[in-house]
Structure formats: structure tokens, C-alpha cells
Amino acid sequence: MSNTTNSAKNELANIVFVDNFDSFTYNLVDQFRSLGHNVKIYRNHIAADKIAKAVLELDNPVVVLSPVPVRLQKRVVCQS
């Protein structure tokens, strides 16, 4: 592997986690945090432009969308 790939693998991410009100969300958040990543959680009713602004302000950002429970699949996610 190249040095770039190796260094990228070792970097910790600033994770913006969009919570779609699924019970599995905090299992994922706990796992990311146990690996040393910084995780900021936004509920899906937060305006998408606010989440996008938060992402743009971070170094090494990663966006994760949580699963959507079946009972909520018809709801709009990340309204603008």
C-alpha cells in the first residue's frame, strides 16, 4: 500500500451522524467513539443547510446517515 493510503487509514474522523430516530444509531455512535473518532449527532429534523455548514467547518469530515425505522420511512429526512 502507498503511504497516502496508510496515513489516511490512521486518521481519526470528525463524524457528523444524522440520526433518523433508529434504535441502532447509538450502537454505531458508541462503536465510532470507541475507535477514537469524534462524533457529533444531529437529529433528522435539523435543517440540511445547518448540517452541511457543520460538515464544511470540520477537518477530515465523514457524514453517516443512520438507518430509518420502517415506521418512519415515509417521513422526509433532513428538511431544508
pLDDT tens figures, 8-61: 556 899 999 999 888 889 999 999 999 999 999 999 889 999 999 999 999 999
Q: What is the pLDDT of residue 2?
A: 40
Cα 11 versus chain centre, distance: 16
Per-domain boundaries in the chain: 3-72
Closest CA to 28 of 76, 54, 20: 20
For 55-65, the pLDDT digits (tens) are 999 999 999 99
Closest CA to 19 of 40, 36, 50, 49: 40
Q: Is residue 71 predicted with pLDDT exceeding 70?
A: no
Comparing 8 with 69, the larger pLDDT belongs to 69
